[in-house]
Amino acid sequence: MNDNSSSLAKYRRKLRSKRIRLGVCLCVLLAVAAVWRIAQGEWNIPPARVAELLSPSLSAADKATPEAIVVRSVRLPRFLAAVGTGGLLAVSGAVLQGVLVNPLAEPYTLGIAAGAAFGGTLGFFLGTFSIMPMAFLGAMASLWLVNMIAWKGGGGSSVYIVLAGIVTNAMLSAGVTFLKSIADDKLGAIVLWLMGSLTGAAPLSAAMAWLGAAAVFGPAFVYGRQLDAVSLGDGRAEALGIDEKKLRLLLLCSSSVATALAVSSFGIIGFVGLVTPHILRLLIGPSHRQLLVFSFIAGGALLAIADGAAQLLGELPVGVVTALVGGPFFCRILFLGRRTAR
């Protein structure tokens, strides 16, 4: 008994030390990404000068200089939008993987992104001003459809939710393809939006990304212990007195609202919500409260770096970069996991 207690205490100390080191590394990575994204570009500005330009006490005359406009109105909102969106997607992925007991779940598994894509594409036909609200409505309508199918078919179980998401995603993706086929002169703009881009991110869209992150992070953190129990599967949460279906519905709705805000603002940005929490879970364990914090920092830093790479490559859509890097990287993780299992 003493040996077991000693081994458990040693394991906890080792895990705590590992989390601290990883947390420091991720914070440093985020800081480096901030300096790079705000100071570097077509017009390089020294970091010390950037700090001066971001000072709250900056005079009105200095705020009107070209340097200040570039830093405060262009680069800072884009960086904040990248961090908020990346953190939002990663946290949503962590929540969905836990609540659905499926390591391949992510914000787009449930067809939410396809719903936002369909609504946003439809918005191009109604006028540019309607793209964001239509994308949001499409995402929420998709969530409603998925839940309706899952509750009617399987009582709202996680397996039926995933299956309903796959079916809904296929139908709405077909709808997007149809709309693109009749788009004519709007086709180029639709395709660019669907690929996901942070170009032209404004303070309002950055604020919406952070609002979405808070919408999913808050409930998930509060119910972190219950989420840990649900993620064990096999109805163990029910045995502990936890209402799995109610908790699942709450977290699905919060994740969907957050994802809808991100997609309606910046389009489809894949793999951040799939790869980030999956890697972190392998590194720091399945405890969701820690996982949520680490996922937000890592997701934000990774999307900021990916956005910088996309800009260096000639303003490519950042969704293309995350897919090109995230796809093979996730396959590599799966191959390593299979070898370890053997």
* pLDDT score for 337: 55
Quickly list DSSP for 6-19: HHHHHHHHHHHHHH
* pLDDT score for 265: 86
- Determine the Cα–Cα distance for residues 295 and 303; give it in Å rounded to an integer: 12
Contact 73, 53 (CB under 8 A): no
CA atoms in the 13 A half-sphere facing the CB of 237 = 22
* pLDDT score for 342: 47
Which residue positions in the chain have pLDDT lower than 70?
1-4, 154-156, 234, 333-334, 336-342
Query: What are 222-262's pLDDT values in tens digits?
Result: 999 999 888 887 677 777 778 888 888 899 889 888 888 88
* pLDDT score for 215: 94
Query: What are 259-298's pLDDT values in tens digits?
Result: 888 888 898 898 899 889 988 988 898 889 999 999 999 9
- Determine the Cα–Cα distance for residues 171 and 176; give it in Å rounded to an integer: 9
What domains appear along the chain, each with residue ranges and CATH number?
18-39+67-341 (1.10.3470.10)
* pLDDT score for 94: 94
* pLDDT score for 340: 41
With the C-alpha atoms ordered 212, 217, 218, 223, is the resulting torsion angle positive or negative?
positive
State the pTM of this model: 0.90
Residue 130 φ/ψ, nearest 5 degrees: -95, 0
Query: What are 144-165's pLDDT values in tens digits?
Result: 898 888 888 766 677 888 888 8
* pLDDT score for 177: 92
* pLDDT score for 234: 63
Q: How far is CA 303 from CA 27, 101, 204, in A?
A: 14, 25, 19
